[in-house]
Amino acid sequence: MPIDLSADAVTLTEQLVNVFSVSLDEKQIADEVEEALGAVSHLEVTRRGNTVVARTDLGRRERVVIAGHLDTVPLNDNLPAWRDEENLHGLGSCDMKGGVAVALRLAAHLAAPNRDVTYVFYEAEEIEAEHNGLAKLAASDPELMRADFAILMEPSNAGVEAGCQGTMRIDVRLAGERAHSARSWMGDNAIHKAGAVLRLLDDYRERQPWIDGLRYREGLNAVRVHGGVAGNVVPDECVVEVNYRFAPDRSEVEAEEFLRGFFRGYDVTITDSAPGALPGLSVPAAAAFLATVGGEAHPKFGWTDVARFSGLGVPAVNYGPGDPLLAHKQEEHVPFADIERCEARLRAWLTEGLTEGLTEGMTVGQADQGEGA
């Protein structure tokens, strides 16, 4: 059964959960989203692969992006969706079909918001970056992502988590010399040398910079140690894998410089890297959003696709229903109240002060067609 944009947000979430859309298998859900939004007269709809973009074009002074991914992690005996008294359960309910349902409701029913809005429903967020629909869109059609401010509907307990930290992984490689373990003095044990690296990490004291009034907290941790040849051989190599989570006031270049300085004298190889995203809470659209949503903004310590917007010069926050700690778990679920709260607050933000957002020649009556589709 096709998704029904006239349904309430909780029911729409349930419909979306029941459309199987594990990463790289999003065609059906993208088809249904494209068909549903294509019938909405006030939207311009564009599709790239299994990513669907819908835009208003009212000539407003500001444009914002509201984005959510359509894919889920693999099935874990958690379909179809089901409800208890307060929650909707099922694969992707929290991460992030509840947020997608909210965005779809806004796209369909706000014909004349106070800001122009670009809604992006994209593929392949849960797997390797080479498949990510948002990254592909930024490369092929960057104009479709240009905005003054962006909201990524990642689960955040219906609160604002601003920006995100960057992440960098490195290999610290330690060299030795092989020998028979019965004559270990003839060799040089590389694994033993890892102790000095681990002591460095144990003595590390993290930076805690304040950015836009938010206190970020960096992390530097060994995440894997591997080496060894056989049970009777002194190892000639050991690798300590380290993950650095850096605050968004540092670039990837600065993060690398810090790591090479911290591990000066060691053989360091960068194996993975992604930039952070500044919160940008001082821009007018973000300030208005925070005022409407209420509560206290918090820093995002994990990495999310807000960094892709930041790379285009668009400040972004995470704001969506559901507890991020439930993402990817078999018992994943999303509270009805979170879905309803996110929809109500986003709707209020996009409809407040409509008379101030009118373009020349547009009447107040035209602007008030917020439920006209």
Tokens of 108: 């369909």
Which residues lie across from 52 on neighbouring strands?
A: 47, 121
Distance (Å, whole) CA 275 – CA 80: 36
Element (H, E) at 120: strand 116-122
Is the predicted pLDDT of residue 360 greater than 60, yes or no? no
Is the predicted pLDDT of residue 336 greater than 80, yes or no? yes
Longest dimension (CA), the chain: 90
Q: For 261-287, b where at least 16 C-beta lie within 10 A, e where not — what string?
A: ebbeebebeeeebbbbbbbbbebebbe
Q: Catalytic one among 14, 32, 71, 161?
A: 71
Element (H, E) at 151: strand 149-152
pTM exceeds 0.75: yes
Distance (Å, whole) CA 362 – CA 371: 17
The residue among 115, 21, 28 whose CA lies nearest residue 66 is 115
Q: How confident is the model at residue 145 (pLDDT cuts 50, 70, 90)?
A: very high
125 is catalytic: yes
Q: Which residue has the higher pLDDT, 372 or 2?
A: 2
Q: What is the pLDDT of residues 164-182, one digit of tens each?
A: 999 999 999 999 999 999 9
pLDDT at 370: 42
Average pLDDT (272-287) is 88
For residue 53, the one-letter residue type is V
Distance (Å, whole) CA 162 – CA 297: 7
pLDDT at 23: 97
Side-chain-side CA neighbours of 308 within 13 Å: the count stands at: 23
Cα 236 → chain centroid: 40
148 is catalytic: no
Is the predicted pLDDT of residue 362 greater than 60, yes or no? no
Q: Catalytic one among 26, 116, 125, 236?
A: 125
Is the predicted pLDDT of residue 358 greater than 60, yes or no? no
Q: What is the pLDDT of residues 339-354, one digit of tens each?
A: 999 999 999 999 987 6
Q: What is the pLDDT of residues 102-141, one digit of tens each?
A: 999 999 999 999 999 999 999 999 988 889 999 999 999 9
Average pLDDT (11-32) is 98
Domains annotated on the chain, with CATH: 9-164+277-367 (3.40.630.10), 166-274 (3.30.70.360)
